[in-house]
Structure 1
Amino acid sequence: MKKIVAGFIAIFGLLLLANCTTQTNVSQNVKRDWMLVEFQGFTKDSMMSNKAHLNLSDQKEPGKFSANMGCNNMFGSAVFNANGTVKFSQIGSTMMFCDKAMDLESTFAKALPTMTSYKIDGHYLTLSNASGKKMKFVAADWD
């Protein structure tokens, strides 16, 4: 009986350890500043000139994000799971008007909370939702 209990404890411990390792790998791969390079009908040049980015590297508050599409600062919570799902919530923004960046910014702000899955491929992060809309980012620290 003691061997069975010890076996269950060992298995439970290994499963717990494996889950912690997976979560660490997820956070390390995602915790970067990401530049937006593909999003709906916007050109890469317009996104680059606006310095459109999603920052997931906040060391002070894990699970938080900030973003800027060329005008207002956006912020909120982002939870990335090992199974490839993501949830953006508690999204807020400053409220300035900037003529050239408003289309990109408002479209991004509406789409971000609908993103439910992510994929990291090399230096690229792709967010997508159930209706097939996607956002593609490249790591800002990648040369």
Structure 2
Amino acid sequence: MKKSSLFLLIFTVTISCSSKKNAQNIKRVWMLVEYKDYKKEYFVEQKAFLDLTNPERATSKMGCNNLSFSYKIDRSSITFSQGIATRMYCQNNMKLETDFLNEIPSMKNYEVEGNFLTLTSDNGEKISFVAQDWD
């Protein structure tokens, strides 16, 4: 009986720590590397990022306006609010920003693998990032 209780305790602590670790790993600044049919070089040129370092409010920039969303993490799921943006007009990069603003609320799952973050929607759409602090 003592052995099974000890095993159960170790198992519970391990599971608890791994889900907490995954949630902690996501709280970084992420550089956009894969989204729709856009080229990775375009993301680099636009300095497209998603900042999840604030536990309640995500910020982002896709090259023009500052974007902001509330978000919540629960194990491997994530929920984003409809985003808000500043109102500057930029001739060449409004499409990426508009696409991202419209699609981020549909992202429901996340996976962190090393220095990579992938957000996925229920219909299979995905957005991939690499950690900004990764060399």
TM range (shorter): 0.7 to 0.9
Query: Secondary structure of 1:116's match?
Result: strand
The Cα RMSD (Å) is 2.1
Instruction: Report what 1:142 is aligned to.
Output: 134
Q: Is the 1:26–1:80 contact (alpha carbons within 8 Å) kept by the matching residues of 2?
A: no
Q: Is the 2:82–2:101 contact (alpha carbons within 8 Å) kept by the matching residues of 1?
A: no
Instruction: Report what 1:52 is aligned to.
Output: 48
Shift of the alpha carbon at 1:23?
A: 5.5
Aligned pair 1:26/2:22, yes or no? Answer: yes
Match for 1:93 among 85, 90, 100? 85
Query: Secondary structure of 1:24's match?
Result: helix
Shift of the alpha carbon at 1:27?
A: 3.0
Per-residue CA deviations over 1:18-76 (Å, capped at 9, x if unaligned) read 78645532331011000000000100011110000000012xxx221000000001112
2:123 partner letter: S
**What is the percent sequence identity of the aligned residues?**
37
Instruction: Report what 2:71 is aligned to.
Output: 78
5+ long unaligned stretches in structure 1: 1-10
Which is greater in Rg?
Answer: 1
2:111 partner letter: K
Per-residue CA deviations over 1:86-113 (Å, capped at 9, x if unaligned) read 1001521111111111011001111100
Instruction: Report what 1:42 is aligned to.
Output: 38
Q: Is the 1:56–1:66 contact (alpha carbons within 8 Å) kept by the matching residues of 2?
A: yes
Instruction: Report what 2:120 is aligned to.
Output: 128
Runs of 4+ residues deviating >3 angstroms: 17-24
- The TM-score with structure 1 as length reference comes to 0.80
Q: Is the 2:82–2:105 contact (alpha carbons within 8 Å) kept by the matching residues of 1?
A: no
- The TM-score with structure 2 as length reference comes to 0.85
